[in-house]
Structure 1
């Protein structure tokens, strides 16, 4: 997406301690190139990796480091700092800083600013892979997510310590893009939209599951397109092959029941778009131990149960129903007829139908050919990339909600 909406914006940049702090210098340059003004805050640990002089020289403004600056505090400086910015960005966000944020601690300038601000906060985590995978970090990230804190990264790669895995701070360009996404304006500004995506995995036993070939590409593209139009997007995704979009609220699930619960938790919303390829069935009872082959060759008997119908559940709500409910119909024959019947049966407003027969290459591929089915009739769209399908559908959603 473009970065023009960063022009004239004031960004409070908190630089935590860690080897990734050196990237903050390039981050300042990229923000300034986009027209943003930077107000830097350097933690005591951050100053071990980059100097206040280098940060100040690049930012073109004084570096704030001390909560107990008497001149500033006489004018309630930390409150002014926290609220005069358009957004607060923490890069790198170390395990220590994340832990303090999740616990509500305010024992230095950075954490006090984060507690006092009334603006959106974006963090770019950076830490060792073991620290990132630690249960306490996962709990802290979940807490911040529930508090509405946005996150970009971390990426996977080689660490300064020599280990490999998730924990590398997102690249400065990714952080700038995520910032622009949060500060964007558009026809869907102020609208909350739920998007489901990817397959669901229904466990058979601890090592096997029922799934489908959905990559999650169409749902991801749609969430990105809606976000680019200004929507506040909650992205509920199963175990997709494509990475989730930046700048949206991500809720990761495995099963259909988990997806339904996540959608219900995310409500209310102006619109809900159900692009996920939810498994129709699950095992009535998944096995606690791996199913073994029997010596006599007897095959195991698996008893199936129907999964919840997430689309119908939301579309038929009597209270709190989104203004627009959009379903997807992945068919292999009689596409338009089956999808039209599905729209009536489920009670949704629109159905986006496509032919996912193996020969089309649509499921898991880069392109899509869809038919939009509404109360007014059917509208066949030409073959195009999933990104273009998403943009066109997002524009239609914006028109419908206007």
Structure 2
């Protein structure tokens, strides 16, 4: 287990984090290239907040506007109550951790951690005490005299974090800091980052394109696409109630479907497909016409025979198995519907029903009405 788990809740590394506020911020470059457009959000003091999205969506530019390496074309950036929009980077009480760590190769671990404090002219004794504390907290004391080239990727990442936190910033900015690590080490470091955040109370603003990483670490997540925020919410809400087609597809695996000519039956939309098949979704508006919905693969039940009985208030569709992919604890089954649409189902690999099916098997799928999330009219959802 990581030694970060033993950090006291009131570690002296801790310092009350500050809120970060974006007020109608846009960033464009010469030639009219708009990288960030009219972004409005606030990161609460002490929050772990992630900016999530594909490459080129504007998340790193947004982070760099907090650090001061980019200046907004319009709008304001505040740290706490202070407008820092035009403040020079060196005068902002924030620290940035890069993906490549940006450690000085000619310096020892201890000197790398002490660098910022020495630049500020801190007294030698206080500098020494702070560095010793930071090294101990990150399990680096025994490595203080080594150089970065003598360290593993995880150790270099801890040095970068120690160097950032030793300055006791009001916000820690992290630009895909785990991107260079292998999968197992990345997962270990995710746990360490979470524990570090809880022990220090510092505001974390985290940039990543990895949705699993964002869901694991964050209090809230802003999903960005083409310079705008598509949805800002806690991880569970983003996963279970995506606001747009983009969010539904980017956060995990999602089955997107359209209910054509749905009829209202009580509190549900029901789209009758014929042959006893139907799709059922909660009613969220009184509007008529097609409805865009999504259902997560783990919410769908796979029946090994196409004539299986299904409750009347559940969605039920028949199809043909086109693909079966074993993924260890789960198996992913793709089923093609008569409409040409495909549904992906995640089943536990030890499910005995899986033994009865193969490619070409005719099966029936079902799921409860409350497992269907309504996004809205198809045109509005695009």
Structure 2 length-normalised TM = 0.30
User: Structure 1 or 2: larger helix share?
Assistant: 1
Greater Rg by CA: 2
Higher relative contact order (CA 8 A, sep 6+): 2
Higher strand share: 2
Name the TM-score, length of structure 1 as normaliser: 0.29
